[in-house]
Structure 1
Amino acid sequence: MVTDSTPAPGTRRGDQPPGDVAVPPVPPVAPVLGASEKTLLVLEAAMAHGRFTDVVEATGLAKATTHRILATLIDRQFVSLAADGTYLPGPKILSLAGQAMARIDIAAIAQPFVDELVERTHCTVHVGAKNGDEIVYLVRADSDKPYLMPSRVGLAIPLHTSGIGKAVLSGFTDQGLERFVERVGLPRRTPHTITTLEELRAEVAEIRRLGYAMDREENVPGVACVAAPIRDTTHSITYGLSISTLTLEHSIDQIEAMAPLAVEAAERISAALGHTG
C-alpha cells in the first residue's frame, strides 16, 4: 500500500512536524530557603547527627554556610561544642525544652484523638497517666451508649489490674517489674486479676510482642478494654489509652479486634507529644 509522504506545508522532508516536537521535562526547581529556614535546618541536623560533616550532608547546605550558622548557634548557646568536636544541645535549647515540657497538657493534646476514636468505636475511651504505682485517668470520653463506665477523671487504679496500667508496665525493666511487685503485692480485684510475678512477667512479654494490652475483667467485673502505650519525647511510657466496654455488649475477641485502632490513636498522641521513631 502506498502512503502519501508529502511533507506538510512549511516543512522539509525529514523534519518533525511542529505539533509533535518532544519537549524535554523541566527539572524541578529547588526551593530557595530563607535565613531562618536554614538556621532551623542546621539546628535540627546538629541535634540529630553531632559531627560537622554529617550536619552538612543532612542539610545539603554549603560548608561555609553551615559553619557560619553553627557558629551563631554556639554563640547564642543553642548549641554546644564538645571536646571531641561533636555538637550537643546548648543551655538555651535545654532551658526552652524544659519550659515547653512544663506547659504540656496531655489531656488537651489527646482530646481530639480521643473524640475521633469514640466516634469510630462507639465505646468509652480513657487516657491515663502513671502516678506512683497507680494509673490516674486524665481523660474520659463516653459514646452514645445508654450506660456509663464505672470510671471518672481523677480515679486512681492499680497498674497491674488495668489495660493502661499494664501498657505502662511493659516499659519497665525486669528489675523494675520485680521491685513493683515487691511494693504493691498484686492485690486481687476480681477473679481474673493477675496476682503473681510469673503471671505478670508473661503478660508483659506478650504486651511487648503485640504492642497493646488487654484488661479481661481484671479490675471491674463485666468491664474489659484494650489499651496501648503512649510515649513521650524521651521514649518513656508514662501514659496510655484504652477502649473500654461491657462484656455483655462485646466479647473479649471483639474488644481485642479494636487493638489496631487503640494503637493508631496512641501513636498519634505520642507523635503530638514529640515522640519519634
Structure 2
Amino acid sequence: MTDNDTDSSGRQIDAVENAFNIIESIQELEQCGVTELADQLDIPKSTAHIHLQTLRNLGYVVKEDGKYQLGLRFLELGGRVRHNRSIFQAARSEVDELARSTGEVGTIGYEENGQRVLVYRTEPFEGVSDNAPTGEFTRMHWTAVGKALLSQRTDDEIRDIVDRFGLPRATENTITELDELLNEIDEIRTQGYSIENEERVQGVKSIAIPIRDDANQAGNSAISISGPKHRFDDERIESELLSALRNAANVIELQYKHY
C-alpha cells in the first residue's frame, strides 16, 4: 500500500479522487475541450488530456466535434444499480399508477450519504414538476421526499447531515435554520407525511410519504407526487392526494416483503 492508498487512518488514493473530480467537472461543463477542463480544475493541459484519453479508451467519455462529454456507459451502471434496489422493483408500478390516477408527477426517492437521490420518476401528459433528472442527488431539506427521509432519522443524525451539507437556500421559501427544520421534521413524524411548498422551485408543490418496513430492508426511501401549486390546495391534499399516497405506500410496503 502506498502513502496515498486509503487505509484505516482515512488516507485516499489521489489518482482515483482526481479521476472522479474530472468526471464531475465534465458533467458540470456538459461538454468541454482539454483547455476548458484544465482551466476548470487548475491542472496542466497535458494532465487533463491524459485523463480524458484514458476515460475515453475505457468507454466512459466520448469525443464529438472536438469536445469531450460523459458517455452512456454511466447510464448502464446507474441502471444496473437501480435495478438491483428492491425498493425500485417493489414501488415502480405503484408509483406509475399513482401518477396516472392523480395526473401528477410520481417519484421514488432514496437517501444515500445524507442526500436525496431521485431513483425513479414518472410523468403523466399534464404533469408538471422541476424536471429533475433520474439519479439526481440534492439537499434533503429542499424537497418533500428529502424531508420525509429526514423524518426517519434521529435529530442528532439530522444535525450531522446539516453539518456536512448546510442548509443553503434554493427559493425564498427554503428552510435555512436548523431549529425550524427540526420543528418541521417533528411535525412530519407526527402526521406521517411531508409537504414541499415552493421550497426548491417556485410554483411547484409536492407531498411525500416514507416507505416503512419492519426490518428496514428497504433502506430510507419515500414516494411523492408533485405538481403546480394551484392544483395542490389544502382541500385536494386532504380529500384525494394524501389518501392516494397512503394507499400506494401501503401496497409498496406489502409488495416489498416479496422481493
Shorter-chain TM-score bucket reads 0.5 to 0.7
Identify if the C-alpha distance between structure 1 residues 147 and 165 changes in structure 2 by more than 3 Å, giving closer, same or farther. closer
What does residue 252 of structure 2 align with? 269
Taking only the aligned residue pairs, the percentage that are identical comes to: 33
CA distance in 1, matches of 2:168, 2:125: 34
Aligned ranges for residues 1-277 of structure 1 at < 5 Å? 103-145=84-126, 147=128, 149-235=130-216, 238-251=220-233, 254-255=236-237, 257=239, 258-274=241-257
- Cα distance per residue 1:23-64 (max 9 Å; x no partner): xxxxxxxxxxxxxxxxxxxxxxxxxxxxxxxxxxxxxxxxxx
Contact 2:129 2:227 in 1 (8 A): no
Amino acid at match of 2:93: P
Stretches of structure 1 lacking an aligned partner (at least 5 in a row)? 1-101
Contact 1:216 1:252 in 2 (8 A): no
Contact 1:227 1:263 in 2 (8 A): no
CA distance in 2, matches of 1:256, 1:213: 13
Bigger relative contact order (CA 8 A; separation at least 6): 2
Query: Following TM superposition, by how much is the alpha carbon of 1:202 offset from its aligned partner in structure 2, in angstroms?
Result: 0.9
Contact 2:141 2:175 in 1 (8 A): yes
Contact 2:129 2:228 in 1 (8 A): no
TM-score, reference length from structure 2: 0.61
CA distance in 2, matches of 1:271, 1:243: 20
SS in 2 for 1:221: coil
The structure in which a higher percent of residues are helix is: 2
CA distance in 2, matches of 1:108, 1:197: 35
Backbone CA RMSD of aligned residues: 2.3
CA distance in 2, matches of 1:192, 1:149: 15
SS in 2 for 1:218: coil
Query: Following TM superposition, by how much is the alpha carbon of 1:252 offset from its aligned partner in structure 2, in angstroms?
Result: 5.3
Which structure has the larger Rg?
Answer: 1
Query: Following TM superposition, by how much is the alpha carbon of 1:263 offset from its aligned partner in structure 2, in angstroms?
Result: 2.1
CA distance in 2, matches of 1:206, 1:152: 29
Moved more, 201-210 or 106-115: 106-115
Stretches of structure 2 lacking an aligned partner (at least 5 in a row)? 1-82
Identify if the C-alpha distance between structure 1 residues 256 and 246 changes in structure 2 by more than 3 Å, giving closer, same or farther. farther
CA distance in 1, matches of 2:129, 2:188: 27
Query: Following TM superposition, by how much is the alpha carbon of 1:149 offset from its aligned partner in structure 2, in angstroms?
Result: 4.2
CA distance in 2, matches of 1:146, 1:229: 22
TM-score, reference length from structure 1: 0.58
Identify if the C-alpha distance between structure 1 residues 265 and 195 changes in structure 2 by more than 3 Å, giving closer, same or farther. same
SS in 2 for 1:195: coil
SS in 1 for 2:206: strand
